[in-house]
Amino acid sequence: MNEMSNRITDCRIRPVMAPLEMPHKTASGTLEAAPLVLIDVIADDGIVGSTYIFAYTPAALEPLAALSKNIASSLVGETAEPGAVSALLDARFRLLGNQGLVAMAISGIDMALWDAAAKRKEKPLYELLGGKSDPVRVYDSLGQMGPDETARVVEASLERGFRAFKIKAGHPDPKTDVAVVRSIRDVAGKDVWVAADFNQAFGVDEAVRRMSMLDEEGLAWIEEPVQASDYQGHATVRSAIRTPVQTGENWWGMPDMRNAVAAKASDLAMPDVMKIGGVSGWREAASLANEVSLPVASHLFVEISAHLLNATPTAMILEWFDIAGTIITCTPEIADGFAIPSQTPGAGILWDESAIEKIIA
């Protein structure tokens, strides 16, 4: 059967609170479980494309699931080819706009259709996208903790195979941020790769003051020092410090990325596959990053991102923040600082149905 003739016949959408293997501390509390919408799109050849999307807050979980269900159901009878579906949904949602929950649901469907397309070709997704099968450099994305707790967590992380780390910085006392970075170097070696995420915590002046205090620490990047949408603010911080500035996880599609690039907001780029427009959006982002020589890191979604980075010319490093590991059977392995993308056909999302059954009940 010609792949163009494959039609979508059904979908299954399941909202779950997936328990995290390791609770994640942030400035606003501890994340114990991730609100995820599991998406399966079924085609007339029996192939099921699977993915999950992240609602960020339980308050958005049911609405995101309902929206995903409505959009996916509206595609029954349409082609299963992701490019065509993307064009179709772009037209259907032009008036409402493609951001927020709408963008997340559309991206999820795109990710599921790409998974199916790779399964249909019996190839891992990276291969379908023209990528390599190489292990991908990875960093462990740590929660917000003081120096002693960070040192303990890093020791355990080194044992699991990680060799690079990112902290959630922005402690009330900026000296604590410096102490946390040094505590990692004490445990993992003075040349270890360390980055710091500020999660949009500061205004531009305060950001410059605080980032300057970290300029001697040899960080790989400083992430979102100011509000994500403030590209000019990012550019100002960037010109005031030596440490590379990283942003991109909050780009909603290519228009945001293009604006950030035009403002010279960032030394690096870290698009989020769900916010940038799924695999289709990521491919455009990777192409623009290549054009303007921006090294690319990923955000969340470890399984599919390992595939996408292998098909990204300026790939830099994979973020490891595993929000679905307890409900997936083939989480990428970590070895000596690298993650190994799944080698089975598709994007490496295989549901652990018995684990899901327990949390759905």
The contacts of residue 143 (CB under 8 Å, 6+ apart) are: 23, 24, 25, 26, 30, 153, 168
Does residue 197 interact with Mg ion by CB under 5 A?
yes
Footprint of Mg ion on residues 253-282 (CB under 5 A)?
none
CB atoms within 10 A of CB 4: 9
In the complex, least distance from residue 224 CB atom to Mg ion, rounded to whole angstroms:
6
Does residue 177 interact with Mg ion by CB under 5 A?
no
In the complex, least distance from residue 246 CB atom to Mg ion, rounded to whole angstroms:
8
Of the residues 119, 166, 171, 299, only one is catalytic, namely 299
Q: Binding segment for Mg ion among 31-39, 67-75, 120-128, 197-205 (CB under 5 A)?
A: 197-205
Measured CA to CA in angstroms, residue 289 lies from 228, 293, 312, 335 at distances of 18, 6, 9, 28
How many residues bind Mg ion (CB under 5 A)? The answer is 2
Q: Is residue 24 flagged as an active site residue?
A: no
Long-range contacts of 84-91 (CB under 8 A, 24+ apart): 85/109, 85/110, 85/113, 86/110, 86/277, 86/278, 86/280
Of the residues 119, 168, 275, 307, only one is catalytic, namely 168
Q: Which is nearer to Mg ion, 89 or 145 (CB)?
A: 145
Please say whether the beta carbons of 60 and 92 come within 8 A: no
Footprint of Mg ion on residues 51-80 (CB under 5 A)?
none
Q: Which residue is nearest to Mg ion (CB)?
A: 197
Vertex 167 angle, CA 165 and 172, to 5°: 160
Please say whether the beta carbons of 35 and 101 come within 8 A: no
Q: Which is nearer to Mg ion, 177 or 197 (CB)?
A: 197
Residues comprising the chain, all counted: 361
Q: Which is nearer to Mg ion, 81 or 223 (CB)?
A: 223
In the complex, least distance from residue 141 CB atom to Mg ion, rounded to whole angstroms:
8
Sheet containing strand 29-43, edge to edge, reads: 8-26, 29-43, 48-54
Footprint of Mg ion on residues 94-113 (CB under 5 A)?
none
Please say whether the beta carbons of 179 and 170 come within 8 A: no
As a dihedral over the C-alpha atoms of residue 52, residue 53, residue 56, residue 60, rounded to 10 degrees, the angle is -110
Footprint of Mg ion on residues 291-350 (CB under 5 A)?
none
Per-residue interface string for the shown chain with Mg ion, residues 205-244, x marking contact by CB under 5 A? ------------------x---------------------
Q: Which is nearer to Mg ion, 74 or 227 (CB)?
A: 227
Q: Which is nearer to Mg ion, 177 or 223 (CB)?
A: 223
Q: Is residue 171 flagged as an active site residue?
A: no
What is 157-207 written as a DSSP string? HHHTT--EEEEE---SSHHHHHHHHHHHHHHH-TT-EEEEE-TT-B-HHHH
In the complex, least distance from residue 221 CB atom to Mg ion, rounded to whole angstroms:
10
Q: Which is nearer to Mg ion, 116 or 167 (CB)?
A: 167
Q: Binding segment for Mg ion among 13-21, 66-74, 169-177, 191-199 (CB under 5 A)?
A: 191-199
In the complex, least distance from residue 223 CB atom to Mg ion, rounded to whole angstroms:
5
Largest Cα–Cα separation, the chain:
63
In the complex, least distance from residue 103 CB atom to Mg ion, rounded to whole angstroms:
18
One-letter amino acid for residue 198 of the chain? F
Give the H/E segment covering residue 284: helix 278-291
Positions annotated as catalytic residues are: 168, 299
Contacting positions for Mg ion (CB under 5 A) = 197, 223
